[in-house]
Amino acid sequence: MNTAKVCAKYVGEGTTEHGIRFTEVTVSAVGKGEDIKLRVLSTKAGGDTLGSCSKGANLIIVGRLYRNRAVQSDYNYYVVPTQRIEVVPCPVPLNTVTIAGAYWLNDNDKKLNQDDQRHTFTILTSTPANQLLNHEYDDTLSFSITSWSYDAQRILQTAHIGRQMIIEGYLRSYTPAGKDTGYISINVRSGIVEMFGSKEKKKENKIDNKSDSASKVVIQGETKAEEEKLPI
């Protein structure tokens, strides 16, 4: 599961270097931080709302979150709408993401985890194929997740590599000092995290965190209906 429900402001149309047409929108930050830039792809489910929008229009968007696997240096998040996009007269505070999959720690997660008040980890999940973003049925999507305080302590005590979990959170964007490119992560909403599966004692992390190792983690996927083929 990799769903997002957001209220976003229409910015304009764009095209990637590989010819993928998208609509750029921005989601207001929760608390302090930068507004989050998202790229929305056109789908039949999303309707034709985007084609008649003017700059600054407020949109309610519901869809799946993807990364562009065709370009490794593309750090943008793409939204594939699963419901009709609606225009609303004024912005509403809506920035909700639900991610379900397998708990994982990559090298960057290990560097960031220095105390029990903050725990950064990765959730690996499966999702329907999307030809435009070069995502196949058996590919794995990874999402960077940050938890705080009680949630961080609970996850540290109960999670182990491959354990199934579901979280609800919100998108957060940040640009590291000295960098031109920002990154998007997901912050867990307080108390909205649940574990499933085996409760075996968490093992020491001695797994090689290369992408091919991560792909071997068993993920409870969803029924994958074929995505519609969209023109480039």
Answer yes or no: do 205 and 154 share one domain: yes
Beta-strand relationship, 118-125 and 141-148: antiparallel
pLDDT at res. 176: 67
pLDDT tops 80 at residue 170: yes
Whether 135 maps to a domain, the answer reads: yes
DSSP letter string over 26-63? EE--SSSSBPEEEEE---TTTTTGGGG--TT-EEEEEE
pLDDT at res. 187: 94
Answer yes or no: do 79 and 176 share one domain: no
DSSP letter string over 193-206? EEE-S--PPPPP--
Q: What is the mean pLDDT of residues 82-91?
A: 96
Answer yes or no: do 85 and 115 share one domain: no
Residue 29's domain spans which residues? 2-91
Q: How far apart are CA 23 and CA 123, in angstroms?
A: 27
Answer yes or no: do 87 and 119 share one domain: no
The domain that holds 80 is classified in CATH as: 2.40.50.140
**39, 63, 91 - which closes a domain:** 91
In this predicted structure, which of 19-28, 36-45, 64-73, 100-109 has the lowest mean pLDDT?
A: 64-73
Q: What is the mean pLDDT of residues 75-81?
A: 92
pLDDT tens, position by position, 186-206: 999 999 999 987 776 544 444
180 confidence band (pLDDT: 50, 70, 90): low
Which residue bears the tokens 């990559």?
A: 106
Report the percent of the chain where pLDDT is more than 70.
Answer: 81
Q: What is the mean pLDDT of residues 144-149?
A: 93
pLDDT at res. 162: 93
Question: What are the phi and psi torsion angles at 211 (to 5°)?
Answer: -60, -35
Which of left, alpha, beta for 99 (phi over 0: left; psi -120 to 50: alpha)?
A: beta
Whether 66 maps to a domain, the answer reads: yes
Q: How far apart are CA 138 and CA 136, in angstroms?
A: 6
In this predicted structure, which of 77-91, 110-124, 198-212 has the lowest mean pLDDT?
A: 198-212
Whether 199 maps to a domain, the answer reads: yes
Give which of 113, 104, 133 is closest to 215, Cα–Cα.
104
pLDDT tens, position by position, 38-49: 999 999 999 999
Structure tokens at 37: 């830039």
Q: Is 122 helix (H, G, I), strand (E, B) or coil?
A: strand
